[in-house]
């Protein structure tokens, strides 16, 4: 649920996260833009930190520069790195190298995912 009390924003954010291809990552801000919520990167982070949705590929969301957001050496950091590596991503020094998710269509790039 977002700050205005709407679950629509959460549903759109989770749909954008599920659309990130296997082995690729997107930043929190990119997820927000794809969900049609530019400037709401913190909302993405907050929703991910409280989500109990099974099967949500949370590990595909990183900082905008590809860094893992968890503190290095923490369980979350180790789990995210392991999941990304199982999907074929290269993680070096806590940063995903060369695996940025791309919009599937020009419309998605400009307007976000379909409703």
Q: Is the pTM of this model over 0.85?
A: no
Distance (Å, rounded) from C-alpha 23 to C-alpha 83? 9
What tens digit of pLDDT does each residue of 4-35 get? 446 899 999 999 999 999 989 999 999 999 99
pLDDT at position 105 is: 56
Options 1.10.10.10, 2.60.40.740, 1.10.3720.10, 3.90.180.10; CATH of 7-66+100-111: 1.10.10.10
Tell me the three state secondary structure of residue 97: strand
**Token couple for 52:** 């109990």
Distance (Å, rounded) from C-alpha 20 to C-alpha 64? 14
> Is residue 27 classed exposed, middle or buried when 0-12, 13-18 and 19+ CB atoms within 10 A define those classes?
buried
């Amino acid at each position: 649920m977002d700050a205005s009390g709407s679950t629509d924003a959460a549903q759109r954010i989770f749909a954008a996260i599920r659309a990130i291809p296997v082995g690729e990552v997107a930043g929190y801000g990119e997820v927000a833009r794809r969900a049609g919520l530019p400037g709401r990167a913190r909302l993405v982070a907050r929703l991910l930190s409280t989500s109990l949705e099974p099967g949500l590929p949370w590990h595909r969301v990183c900082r905008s520069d590809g860094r893992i957001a968890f503190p290095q050496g923490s369980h979350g950091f180790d789990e995210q790195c392991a999941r990304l590596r199982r999907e074929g991503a290269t993680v070096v020094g806590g940063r995903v190298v060369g695996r940025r998710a791309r919009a599937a269509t020009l419309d998605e790039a400009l307007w976000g995912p379909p409703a």
